[in-house]
Amino acid sequence: MQNKSLRERLLQALGFELLAILLCTPLFSWIMGTSWMRMGALTVASSAIAVLWNMIFNVVFDRLRWRHALPKGMGIDAIWRAAHAVLFEGGLLLITVPLAAWWLGIGFVAAVLLDLGLLLFFLPYTYAYHWAYDVLREKSRSGCG
């Protein structure tokens, strides 16, 4: 696996967040019974935070995998991708719960429950997005497709 440039990491993170905004704003506006503008602002703010977290987290995660020469293969790769998704989303929860509580004017417990609901969406989304990104990246580098 070739190292990803800062530009490529930024594009990967922005693609992830833009698609998430398009999917989440109307859905969570409806679930929370709030306006698209209010939920959209929270979604965009959370996405900006997530872009920075995504870039930092992925650099650290990739370096750990590379430094420790972790084995590859379908079964092992699936385990590492699942660990990637869980650790990424867990770290993001620690950052976004206080923001959601403040912005929506809800209690800390309600914000945790909201973020846990978001987690149910983002865990499979994170796994699928990064898997698809890496598959397409590898195909484009090898001249296939």
Quick one: pLDDT at residue 73? 65
Residue 87 lies in a domain: yes
Quick one: pLDDT at residue 58? 87
Residue 140 lies in a domain: no
Query: What is the Cα–Cα distance from 110 to 104, expressed in whole angstroms?
Result: 10
Quick one: pLDDT at residue 97? 93
Query: What is the Cα–Cα distance from 119 to 92, expressed in whole angstroms?
Result: 10
Place of tokens 């019974």: 33
Residue 145 lies in a domain: no
Residue 101 lies in a domain: yes
Residue 143 lies in a domain: no
Residue 130 lies in a domain: yes
Domain around 126: 6-134
Residue 142 lies in a domain: no
What does the chain look like in DSSP terms, one character per residue? -PPPPHHHHHHHHHHHHHHHHHHHHHHHHHHHT--HHHHHHHHHHHHHHHHHHHHHHHHHHHHHHHHTT---SHHHHHHHHHHHHHHHHHHHHHHHHHHHHHHHT--HHHHHHHHHHHHHHHHHHHHHHHHHHHHHHHHHHHT--
Quick one: pLDDT at residue 74? 60
Total structural domains within the chain: 1
Cα–Cα distances (Å) from 125 to 72, 110, 141, in that order, read: 22, 23, 24
pLDDT along the chain (145 residues), means of 10: 78 86 89 89 88 87 76 72 85 90 90 83 88 89 69
Quick one: pLDDT at residue 70? 63
Residue 1 lies in a domain: no
